[in-house]
Chain A
Amino acid sequence: MSLLAYIVRRLLLMVLVLIGVSLLVFTMMMLLPPGQRVAIYVTNDRVSPAMMDALIAKYGLNDPAPLQYFRWLRNLLHGEFGYSITASSPVLKGFARFLPVTLELVLYAAPLIILTGIFLGTLGAVRKDTAMDHVTRVLAIVGFSLPTFWLGLLLMMIFYGFLGIFPPGALSTDVRNIVFSDPTWHPYTHLVTIDAILNWRWQVFWDAFYRMILPTLNLVVINSALIMRLMRSSMLEALGQDYMMTARAKGADRKTLFRRHARRNAMLPVITISGITFAELMGSMVITETIFDRKGIGWWMAQAALQLDVAAIMFDVLFLGTIYVVVNLVVDLIYAYVDPRVRLS
C-alpha cells in the first residue's frame, strides 16, 4: 500500500514540475519578439513579411501573457508545435525523423556508461591505494575535465583523419539508400541496427554499428566519470560500515563480502545519480551528434539554435524536460524498490 501511495505522490509532484517546466519554456518564448514566435503556431513555412502582421493578430501574439499561455498549452495538448525551418517540416514530423537516431545511440551508450562506471568504481574501492585505484581515479577526474567537443574532435582526428576508419555520419550513402528507398526494407522500430537484424541485412547492421562506435566511446568516456567516482566513494563507505565486520566475523569470503554485502549498499546512491547522468548524457548528445554528424535530436537542437528555429528549440526543451522528469521518477521508483528502508517508511 505504501509503495502505491509513494507512486501516487510522486506522480502528482511530477505533474506539478511539468507545469513548471512549461511555464519556464513559455517565459523563454515570451522573451522573443512576436514575429519570431509566429513559427510556433504556423504549420508551414510560407510566411511572407506581408502576412506577418495578420498572423500575429490571428494567433493573438500581443494578447496578455496568461491568455497566450493557455492558448499555447491547448495547442501543445493537440499536438500542434509549429513549423521547424531546420527540419523543413512541421515540428512533430521532424521529431519523428530525428528521434530514432538519438534513441539508438542512447540505447548503446547508457548501459555502457553505467556498467563502466560501476565496474571501475568498484575496482578502485576494492583495491584502494593500489596502482589500479590511482589509475581509475585519474581516469575519472580526466573524464570529468575533458570537454566533450574536444574529445570528439580528437577521436575523429585520430581514427578518421589519420587511420581512415570510423567515418562520421550515421549511415553510408549505400546503406542510406537501402534504409530510405528499398521497398524490401521494413522499418519495424526505426532503430537501424535492430531493424537490420530483423530484416536479416548484415551489411546494414555492420555499417550502422560501425559508425556508432566512436560516438558511443565519446559519450562513455565523458559520462561514466561521475558514476565511477560515486561508486568508488560509496563502496569505500560501505566497506567501512559495522555490518562488514559482522560479515567478516561470520566467515564470509571476499566474494560474499564485496558483492553481497558492500556492493548492494553502495549501489543505492548510484541509482539516484543515474538520473543526473542521464541529463548530462543529453547535454553531451548535442555536442556528440554535432561532431559526428548524426542527425538526431541533439544535432537538430544545435542547428535550430544556430538558425533561430524557435519552434524546434522550444519543443526539444519541452521534450527533454519531460523525458528527464519521467526518468527521475523511474529512478526514484527503482530506488524505493531496492532500498527496504524507503519501501516501507
Chain B
Amino acid sequence: MKTMHPRLRELAFTLRRFLKNPLSVIGLSLVVIFGLIALLAPVLEPPKYADPYKIPHTGFHIEPSPPSAAHPLGTMQQQYDMLYGLVWGTRSAFRIGVLVVAANLFIGIILGVLAGYFGGLVDEVIMRITDIFFAIPFLVMAMALVVAIGRGLKAVVVVLIILGWPSYTRVLRSDILVTRGKDFILAARASGASHLRIMFTHIVPNALYSVLILASLNIGTTILTAAALSFLGLGSETGTADWGQIISLCRSWIVGTPGNRFAYWYTVFIPGFVISLFVLGWNLMGDAVRDVFDPRMRRR
C-alpha cells in the first residue's frame, strides 16, 4: 500500500464518503448551479435600469400572464418579469446569505472565543446575553426589530446580523470548553506555549468545524427568514428582485378563473420552488458535511 500523509488520507477518505452519498452530491450541485446563476446574472438577464435589482415590467395590468416567448416563466402581478426577478433574486439571496452569515460568524466567533477561553465573568456575561436572545422566537424578534429600525431590505439584513450570532457563540464556546480540557492542550500549556498561541493554533481550529457546518446550514435558514419578512411586507419594496418579495406579489393568485382553476399556478409555484431548491441545496450540503465530519458516524 502506498504511504500517504495521514491528514491527506483522511481528507481523501472524507471526500470519497462525501461524493458517495447521492444526497450530498445533489446538495453540492444545487449550490453550484445557484452560484453560477448569481454570478452570470448580468449575462443571463441584462438589466434594463441603472439599478439591476429592479425588475422590468411591461405595463401595469394586474393579472399575471402565463409563460410566453417574451416572458419564459410568465409575469407576476403588474407584469413584472418572473425570470428576471428570479435570476437577480438569486444574486440578492447570495448577497444577503453570505453577508449575514459572514457577519454572524465574525461576531459569533469573537464572542465565543472570549467566553470559552477566558471563562469566569466574561463567559457569564456573554452567555447570559445569548440566553436573552434565545428567549424570544427568532422570527417574532426579527419582525419587531425591523419595525423598530425602519422597514426595507437593508433593515432586514441588519436585523439578521444583530440576531443571528448567538448560536455560533454557543456552539463555539462549548466546543472550546471540550477541547480546552483535552490532553494535547494541557501538553501544549505544559510546554510553555502562550495563551494566544494555544488559542489560535490548537483550540480554534479544533472547534471550528462545527461552527462552519452550522454556517452552511444557516445560509438556508437566513434566506428563509429574509424571504418570510419580505413576504410579510417588511422587506424590500414592490418590484425588487427579491424572492420573498416576489412570492408576496403572487400570494393573491391562489384561486384561478372559473374555467381553469389552476390558471395562475405558475405565479405561485415557480418562485417558491426556486427558494425551496436553494435552501434544500444548502441544507443537504451542510448535512452531508456534518455526517462526514462526525466521528461518531464515521466508522459505520
Interface of B is mostly: helix
Bound form: Cα–Cα A223–B235 in Å: 24
* A34 is an interface residue with CB less than 8 A from chain B: no
Q: Does A314 contact B (CB under 8 A)?
A: yes
Question: Which residue of the partner chain, among B148, B247, B280, contacts A31 with CB atoms under 8 Å?
Answer: B148
Interface residues of A in 105-138 (CB under 8 A from B): 137-138
Give the number of residue pairs across the A-B interface with Cβ within 8 Å.
159
Can you list, as one digit per residue, whether each of B258-300 has a CB less than 8 Å from chain A (1) or not (0)? 0001100100110111011001100110010000000010000
Q: Which of A20, A161, A280 contacts B255 (CB 8 A)?
A: A161
- Residues on the B chain within 8 Å of A156, using CB: 254
Task: Give the chain A neighbours of B296 by CB distance below 8 A.
Answer: 237
**A187 at interface by CB-CB < 8 Å:** no
A282 contacts the other chain (CB 8 A): yes
- Answer whether residue B227 sits at the interface, using C-beta atoms and an 8 A cutoff: yes
Closest B residue to A24 using CB positions: B132
Question: In B133-172, which residues have CB < 8 Å from any A CB?
Answer: 133, 135-141, 143-149
Q: Is the CB of A147 within 8 A of B279?
A: yes
Closest chain-A Cβ to B294's Cβ sits at a distance in Å of 9
Q: How far is the CA of A284 from the CA of B133 in the complex (A)?
A: 18
Q: Is the CB of B228 within 8 A of A320?
A: no
Determine if A92 is an interface residue (Cβ-Cβ < 8 Å).
Answer: no
Instruction: Check if A317 sits within 8 Å of B232, measured CB to CB.
Output: no
Chain A residues contacting B262 (CB-CB under 8 Å) are 157, 161-162
Which of A174-182, A250-258, A304-312 is the contact stretch?
A: A304-312
CB proximity of B271 to chain A, nearest CB, Å: 8
**Given the contacts A20-B128, A147-B228, A317-B140, A32 and B148 also touching, CB distance less than 8 Å:** yes
Chain A residue with Cβ nearest B294: A233
Residue ID in chain B nearest A155 by CB atoms: B254
B132 touches A310 (CB 8 A): no
- Which residues of A does B touch, CB under 8 Å? 16-18, 20-21, 23-25, 28-29, 31-32, 137-138, 141-142, 144-151, 153-154, 156-157, 160-162, 237, 279-280, 282-284, 286-287, 290-291, 301-302, 304-306, 308, 310, 313-314, 316-317, 320-321, 324-325, 328
7 closest Cβ contacts across the A-B interface?
A150-B272, A283-B139, A20-B132, A145-B280, A279-B137, A145-B279, A282-B137
